[in-house]
Amino acid sequence: MKRFDAFAEQALYGPGGFYTRSRGAGTTEADFITSPETSNLFGACVASYLDRVWRELGEPNPFVVVEGGSGNGKLCRDIFLGVQDCAESLRYVMVERSDKQRDVALRMVAATCFTDSQEIPVAALRDLPHGQFTGVVIANELLDNLPPRIVKRTGTGWSELHVEDGSETWRSAPEDAQNMATAISTNAPEGACLPLQLKAAVWTKRALQLLDKGRLLVVDYGFRNSDQFLQLPRDEWLRTYRGHRRAGTPFSEPGSRDITCDVAFDQLPGDPLFQMQADWLKDHGLIEMTEWAREHWRNAAISPDARDVAIRSLLDEATALTDKEGLGNFVVAEWRVGD
Ligand SMILES: C[S@@+](CC[C@H](N)C(=O)[O-])C[C@H]1O[C@@H](n2cnc3c(N)ncnc32)[C@H](O)[C@@H]1O
């Protein structure tokens, strides 16, 4: 029998785990599509944000950007293709736990953005670096993949989710989990479940400690208030995916599916500013970036060729990134350090 977070950790990142297998798990072709994979426009908006932060921070050189959970490197690539003002100062560190993804990403970024260079301003690490810097830490859809502990309100306190032989089983929660759950939610009805996101909180704290001055930018699905979890069935916020479809129980066939949990932003340290992704992207140039495509299509719509149609598809991508039923509803949280 394993506590749920230990089970999910193994199922995702252990030998044979979902992100460890060689089948291309977690890629566009395989299991899900993230915002950077949906459209280059996402990275272009982040590039515009980085240019702005670089100026706000007094144009530091080097300007260090660390990306947690960098996956296949798509966001890094689009940032290098998009930055203008900070381009010369930018030093980028992709942090990715999967050895395979790290290698693929580094090779792809080098081959796309730095074809003529002997040395590239990009490194790829397995874990967050040590030491402080001035710059930005970014994470898109990382925290939802850091397994939570799950507790359930009982008549007398809280029980905690465990997994045994492919099924869920509940044990009385130890004192630390009882105390944390009670502190987070004083009015949970009996039977209601709650995630305790200690790994996400620890990652956030480590990311903040890296910055002597700068910003931490986290983009993910989730809720700003843990009480919102109590109002939903557990499988609405603790989900599995395989092949772009919801994939049922997380408890059986470990490694066969992604396990992800909505982020409880109020369980993270500090006091970030919040926006919805749709609004954040519009504040960082999305409308200006798509206006020319809209204008182009107005002129080409009657008799479009393949290029016109490709340009038109940018408008669909922008719609997907800002759809308030989907990616547009993601939370963008920004912590400011040293201001
Ligand atoms: C859902 S994917 C998102 C990938 C990418 N950020 C994107 O938006 O396309 C999450 C990634 O985080 C990685 N990951 C999980 N825990 C990590 C950790 N502690 N440090 C670095 N990477 C981690 C996984 O291997 C996976 O590639």
Verify that 210 and 314 share a domain, yes or no: no
- Other beta carbons within 10 Å of 231: 10
Establish whether the linkage from the previous residue to 62 is cis, with ω within 30° of 0.
Answer: yes
Residues 210-243: tens digit of each pLDDT: 999 999 999 999 999 999 999 999 999 999 998 8
Is-contact 308 184, C-beta < 8 A? no
The verdict on the CB of residue 36 being under 6 Å from ligand 1 is yes
Residues 75-118: tens digit of each pLDDT: 999 999 999 999 999 999 999 999 989 999 999 999 999 988 88
Verify that 27 and 120 share a domain, yes or no: yes
Lookup: tokens for 18 = 């979902």
Q: Which atom of ligand 1 is nearest to the CA of 68?
A: 21
The verdict on the CB of residue 141 being under 6 Å from ligand 1 is yes
The verdict on the CB of residue 258 being under 6 Å from ligand 1 is no
pLDDT > 50? residue 28 = no
- What are the beta bridge partners of residue 238? 261
The verdict on the CB of residue 98 being under 6 Å from ligand 1 is yes
Which residues are CB-neighbours of 277 under 8 A, at least 6 positions away?
A: 35, 219, 321, 322, 327, 328, 329, 330, 331, 332
> From CA 241, how far away is CA 141, in angstroms rounded?
14
Does any domain span residue 29? Answer: yes
Find the range with the poorest average confidence among 17-21, 76-80, 292-296: 17-21
Q: Are strands 2-3 and 158-164 parallel, antiparallel or unpaired?
A: antiparallel
Does any domain span residue 216? Answer: yes
The verdict on the CB of residue 19 being under 6 Å from ligand 1 is yes
- What are the beta bridge partners of residue 246? 241
Q: Which atom of ligand 1 is nearest to the CA of 19?
A: 25
pLDDT > 60? residue 120 = yes
Verify that 109 and 142 share a domain, yes or no: yes
Q: How many whole angstroms from 9 Cα to the centroid of ligand 1?
A: 13
> From CA 259, how far away is CA 18, in angstroms rounded?
9
Does any domain span residue 162? Answer: no
Verify that 231 and 309 share a domain, yes or no: no
Helix/strand/coil for 337? strand
Residues 256-283: tens digit of each pLDDT: 999 999 999 999 999 999 999 999 999 9
Does any domain span residue 14? Answer: no
Q: How many whole angstroms from 70 Cα to the centroid of ligand 1?
A: 6
Verify that 234 and 304 share a domain, yes or no: no
Q: How many domains does the chain have?
A: 2
> 């874990």: which residue's tokens?
127
Q: How many whole angstroms from 158 Cα to the centroid of ligand 1?
A: 30
The verdict on the CB of residue 43 being under 6 Å from ligand 1 is no
Is-contact 320 39, C-beta < 8 A? yes
Verify that 213 and 311 share a domain, yes or no: no
pLDDT > 70? residue 285 = yes
- Substitution candidate for ligand 1 out of 103, 145, 332 with most atoms within 8 A of CB: 145
> 């080097």: which residue's tokens?
62
> From CA 262, how far away is CA 273, in angstroms rounded?
18
- Full residue range of the structural domain in which residue 221 is found: 22-146+197-280+327-337
pTM for the whole structure:
0.95
Residue nearest to atom 18 of ligand 1 (CA): 97
Which residues are CB-neighbours of 35 under 8 A, at least 6 positions away?
A: 42, 140, 141, 219, 277, 321, 327, 330
Give the pLDDT band of residue 23 (cuts 50, 70, 90). low
